[in-house]
Every structure is written in C-alpha cells, then in structure tokens.
Structure 1
Amino acid sequence: MTGGLTQLGQATALPASPDSAVLETVPDPHPGTLYLVRFSAPEFTSLCPVTGQPDFAHLVIDYAPDGALVESKSLKLFLGSFRNHGAFHEDCTIAVAKRLVEACKPRWLRIGGYWYPRGGIPIDVFWQTGIPPEGLWLPDQGVPGYRGR
C-alpha cells in the first residue's frame, strides 16, 4: 500500500519551491466508494511577489478520491514549499488545487483560500473542478469570512 513513497517515515527537507515539491499518492482503500477527504491548512504562508512580505491564509481542500489518496506528509511539504515563494493569493490557491488534481486525479475537488488582509483587504479565493458528484456529503468549510476587530 505504501510502496514507492519517498518521504513518509523519514527525515525529508522542505522543498525549495512548489515546482520541486513531490506530491505522492497511495491507493484508495475504498475504491468505488463516494466519500470526501478534507485537508485544512490554517497556517499556509507565501510571499507577496512585489514586496516580499509574508502573506497568510487558511486553506481548506476537499476532494472525492477516485483511486488514489494524497499522502499527507507530501502535502505538508508541498504546502510548506510556498513559504519562500512569491505569488499573488489567487495564483497560490489555484496552483495548489491544480497540482493536487494532477497528482491524485480525484472525482471532484474544491479549495477555499481564506487569506488574511493585505493592505486592509482580505482576499478569499475559491475554485472547484466542476459540479460535486450526486450524493457526496459536502459540509461547509467552516471558515468564517474575515471580520475586523
């Protein structure tokens, strides 16, 4: 089941960039079963491509597997590789989603990127691969819109 994994169970350095990060998958233990997998990354960071200042987001990734699951340590390393990557909020959010789609080829995937304010304006980015499969239990992502203090 875990044959071929190169990162799980051993010390692995944080990739230098998202392009160099390796997203690994494992076989779905319940092929043919419609269910939802959720990853929540409340401490996602990247850099503003203009100022170099850090940006922070809470990413919520939901997907319905179709034969493969994303191995979570490889996902953690992939997301961490954005720490020194300069890109706008929209680019980071969609790039994460598209890499996941490429890696595990899910039946369906959506991502919510809930970014903390930059210049006083919070930016939330949402994307999905299409209409969710009929019968998929799809809970709310549970991240409230930004509210000033």
Structure 2
Amino acid sequence: MKRTKTAMKTSLGYSEDHAKSGLSTTLPELETWPNQYKGYEITIDIPEYTAICPKTGLPDFGTIRIHYMPDQHCVELKSLKLYIHAYRNVGIFYENAVNRILQDFVKACRPVRATVTGEFTARGGLRSLIEARYP
C-alpha cells in the first residue's frame, strides 16, 4: 500500500518509544485461587481505570471489563484491583493497555476464554471502545 502525504503526517510526533510505552512496566502479580466448578462465566467491571497518555502526559480514564470462563483457576479480586490501579502512573495507549491486561490475565488464570474491554472516557469529542479476546 502506498503511503500518502496525509498518512505520513498522522504519525509525526509519535515515536517507537510512545508506541511501546508501558508494555514492559513491572506491575503487581495477578493471583488466583482453585476453581471448583466448570462451564460458567464471570464478568468483572472496573470503573476506576486510570493511566497516562504517553504522548501528552494527560490522564486517561475508563472502565475495564473482564469477561471470562475459568478453567482451573479464578482471579483473586484484590490482586486484580491492585494490578489495575498500578496503571495510574503508567504511560500507555488504550489499545496497548487492553491487550496487556488480557495477556497478563491469561498468563495468570489460563481461562477457557476471556475478553477484555476498555471503554474510555470521551476526550475532544471522541470516545474509544477497545476489545481484545483470547483465544
């Protein structure tokens, strides 16, 4: 695909460092507990997500929703709360945050399936809804 001048202009000012920001930040470990049942689903809403835009340094706000079918383990909610609140001082784009949360969640819980949705507060007349799924 040929890049136009307009397409090139949209990426000006965004560096590879911006794009990767927050992906390797150390966050609290997600803990689990042994699941006793099969075939049910869990939805967890976290309405107090905050992070920092790596480009502007302005705060981002939103709701993170985790919907999953547990297999052998369920996530321990206090550890999830501490994990999500640790994003407060992390510079990370919405898309990266949602995918990172899914990646870390799947690594800890090994669910049958999981979906992480980020619904971010409107800024400048735009509202974003990001969704990542496993498998």
User: TM-score normalised by the shorter chain: which range applies?
Assistant: 0.7 to 0.9
Gaps of 5+ in 2: 1-23
| SS of equivalent to 2:57 | coil
Rounded to whole Å, the distance in 1 between the matches of 2:108 and 2:90 is 20
Quote the sequence identity (%). 36
Rounded to whole Å, the distance in 2 between the matches of 1:77 and 1:39 is 14
The letter of the residue matching 1:24 is E
The letter of the residue matching 2:55 is V
More moved, 41-50 vs 114-123: 114-123
Q: Which residue of 1 aligns with 2:42?
A: 37
The letter of the residue matching 1:28 is N
Q: Would the alpha carbon gap of residues 54 and 60 (structure 1) be closer, same or farther in structure 2, given more than 3 Å must change?
A: same
Rounded to whole Å, the distance in 2 between the matches of 1:18 and 1:27 is 28
Pairing 1:49–2:57 present:
no
Spell out, residue by residue over 1:30-66, the C-alpha distance to the aligned partner (whole angstroms, 9 max, x if none).
Answer: 2xx1000111001111100011111001111100001
Alpha-carbon contact 1:18-1:81 (below 8 Å) kept: no
Q: What's the TM-score, normalizing by structure 1?
A: 0.71
- Count of residue pairs brought into register by the alignment: 112
Q: Which residue of 2 aligns with 1:59?
A: 64
Q: Would the alpha carbon gap of residues 18 and 37 (structure 1) be closer, same or farther in structure 2, given more than 3 Å must change?
A: farther
Q: What's the TM-score, normalizing by structure 2?
A: 0.79
Rounded to whole Å, the distance in 2 between the matches of 1:77 and 1:28 is 21
Pairing 1:93–2:98 present:
yes
Q: Which residue of 2 aligns with 1:136?
A: none
Give RMSD over aligned pairs.
1.4
The letter of the residue matching 1:49 is P
Alpha-carbon contact 1:63-1:109 (below 8 Å) kept: yes
Q: Which residue of 2 aligns with 1:128?
A: 133
Q: Tell me how far 1:119 sits from its aligned partner.
A: 2.9
| Greater Rg by CA | 2
Q: Comparing both structures, which one devotes a greater share of its residues to strand?
A: 2
The letter of the residue matching 1:85 is V
Alpha-carbon contact 1:114-1:124 (below 8 Å) kept: yes
